[in-house]
């Protein structure tokens, strides 16, 4: 069956450390993968997109990697801050049909302690 899995437990880290979040998928062939941030009661906010032929993307303190062999994406926040505390969602889009249909994981709650 098709699955997208993210760390089910909350991730607690100290301010200044690097947070690494994992997204694994099964039985999908994604055209690209996106990471979103979601605060309680709010809509997801787009962070980064990485295509199937890209290995790594960076934006300021954020970095995402995409390994289609391992069927895994890693999302890193360097020099983390308490303001980075939120739920982070990965979403993939597949070829065919409405290619912008996103399939989301359940999200990982990140808590950055001061």
Partner 1 sequence: DAGVTQSPTHLIKTRGQQVTLRCSPKSGHDTVSWYQQALGQGPQFIFQYYEEEERQRGNFPDRFSGHQFPNYSSELNVNALLLGDSALYLCATLRSRLAGSSYNEQFFGPGTRLTVL
Q: Which of residues 12-71 bind partner 1 (CB under 8 A)?
A: 32, 34, 36, 41-46, 49
105 binds partner 1 (CB under 8 A): yes
Q: How far apart are the first and last CA of the chain?
A: 41
Assess contact for 10 and 71: CB atoms under 8 A.
Answer: no
CB of 10 to partner 1, least distance (A): 12
Tell me if 89 contacts partner 1 by CB under 8 A.
yes
Contact status, residue 69 vs residue 12, Cβ threshold 8 Å = no
Distance separating alpha carbons of residues 21 and 11, to the nearest angstrom: 8
- Residues at the site binding partner 1, with contacts judged by CB under 8 A: 4, 32, 34, 36, 41-46, 49, 89, 91, 93, 97-107
């Amino acid at each position: 069956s098709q699955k997208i899995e993210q760390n089910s437990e909350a991730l607690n880290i100290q301010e200044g450390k690097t947070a690494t979040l994992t997204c694994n998928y099964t039985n999908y062939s994604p055209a690209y993968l996106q990471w979103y941030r979601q605060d309680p009661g709010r809509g997801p906010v787009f962070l980064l997109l990485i295509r199937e032929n890209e290995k790594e993307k960076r934006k300021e303190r954020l970095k995402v990697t995409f390994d289609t062999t391992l069927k895994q994406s890693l999302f890193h926040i360097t020099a983390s801050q308490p303001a980075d505390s939120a739920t982070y969602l990965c979403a993939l889009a597949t070829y065919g049909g409405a290619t912008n249909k996103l399939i989301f994981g359940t999200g990982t709650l990140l808590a950055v302690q001061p």
